[in-house]
């Protein structure tokens, strides 16, 4: 097993700022836009972006939710292990809102598919966009593409993209792990 650094802490920092600017360009003051981080790892990206938008760009208020997709996944009973749920916390209505779904890595698109189904339980959004930090292209099982992407990478099926965050893992870094 070998691993190479895909993005350093500094590169992640720059990319997050760029993504925040792109969101700002499309959504301005976020009065009709909500950010939803997908559990378990998308919430770190969502929290960082929310923080940058508030502190660097003076956005007064952003609705930020976290969404667990476990009960909506299409691989229930297909693996060896029980799929363990995590917390969902969406304290606002998404009816007629612009929703930005946020995840760390877009791979097959199945998680996003589950997230889109899960979102329906919280109302009918005006529009849903997708933001991912890493987009593993050529590996989609479903016709799903991001509206905002941090970095596009080519990784084959045996490889794994691992995203580490300072608040959870001690440092910001993204590895490409080859088996």
Partner 1 sequence: MSELSVHHLLGIKYLKESDIQLIFETADHFKEVINRSIKKVPSLRDITIANIFFENSTRTKLSFELAEKRLSADVLNFSASQSSVTKGETLIDTVNNILAMKVDMVVMRHPNPGAGIFLSKHVNAAIINAGDGAHEHPTQALLDSYSIREKLGDVANKNVLIVGDILHSRVALSNIFALKLQGANVKVCGPKTLIPKHIGSLGVGVVSDLKTGLEWCDVANMLRIQNERLDISYFPTTREYTKQFGVNKGLLNSLDKEIVIMHPGPINRGVEITSDVADSKQTIILNQVENGVAIRMAVLYLLASKIK
152 binds partner 1 (CB under 8 A): no
What is the DSSP secondary-structure string of the chain?
A: -EEEEEE-HHHHHHHHHHHHHHHHHHHTT-SSEEEEEETTTHHHHHHHHHHHHHHTT-----EEEEE--GGG-TTTTTSSSPPPP---B--S--TTPEEEEEEEEESSSHHHHHHHHHHGGG---SEEEEEEEEEEET--SSS---SEEEEEEE--TT-EEEEE-HHHHSS-EEEEEE-
Of 18, 28, 57, 76, which one interacts with partner 1 (CB under 8 A)? 76
CB of 160 to partner 1, least distance (A): 20
Unique residue bearing structure tokens 């009918």: 124
Of 1, 81, 156, 179, which one interacts with partner 1 (CB under 8 A)? 81
Select 9 or 88, whichever has its Cβ closest to partner 1. Answer: 88
107 binds partner 1 (CB under 8 A): no
Select 117 or 139, whichever has its Cβ closest to partner 1. Answer: 117
CB 66 within 8 A of CB 88: yes
91 binds partner 1 (CB under 8 A): no
142 binds partner 1 (CB under 8 A): no
122 binds partner 1 (CB under 8 A): yes
Query: What are the backbone dihedrals phi and psi of residue 123, each rounded to the nearest 5 degrees, phi first?
Result: 125, -175
88 binds partner 1 (CB under 8 A): yes
84 binds partner 1 (CB under 8 A): yes
83 binds partner 1 (CB under 8 A): yes
Of 5, 56, 71, 126, which one interacts with partner 1 (CB under 8 A)? 71
What residues line the site for partner 1 (CB under 8 A)?
68, 70-72, 76-77, 81-89, 117, 120-123
């Amino acid at each position: 097993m070998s691993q190479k650094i895909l993005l350093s802490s500094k590169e992640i920092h720059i990319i997050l700022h760029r993504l925040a600017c792109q969101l700002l360009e499309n959504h301005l003051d976020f009065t009709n836009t909500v950010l939803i981080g997908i559990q378990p790892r998308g919430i770190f990206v969502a929290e960082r972006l929310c923080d940058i938008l508030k502190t660097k760009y003076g956005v007064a208020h952003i609705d930020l939710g976290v969404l667990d997709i476990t009960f909506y996944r299409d691989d229930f009973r297909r693996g060896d292990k029980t799929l363990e749920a995590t917390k969902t916390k969406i304290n606002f209505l998404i009816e007629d809102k612009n929703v930005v779904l946020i995840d760390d890595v877009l791979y097959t698109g199945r998680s996003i598919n589950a997230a889109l189904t899960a979102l329906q339980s919280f109302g009918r959004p005006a529009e849903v966009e997708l933001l991912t930090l890493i987009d593993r292209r050529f590996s989609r099982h479903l016709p799903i593409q991001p509206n905002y992407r941090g970095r596009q990478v080519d990784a084959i099926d045996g490889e794994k993209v691992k995203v580490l965050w300072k608040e959870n893992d001690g440092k910001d870094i993204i590895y490409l792990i080859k088996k």
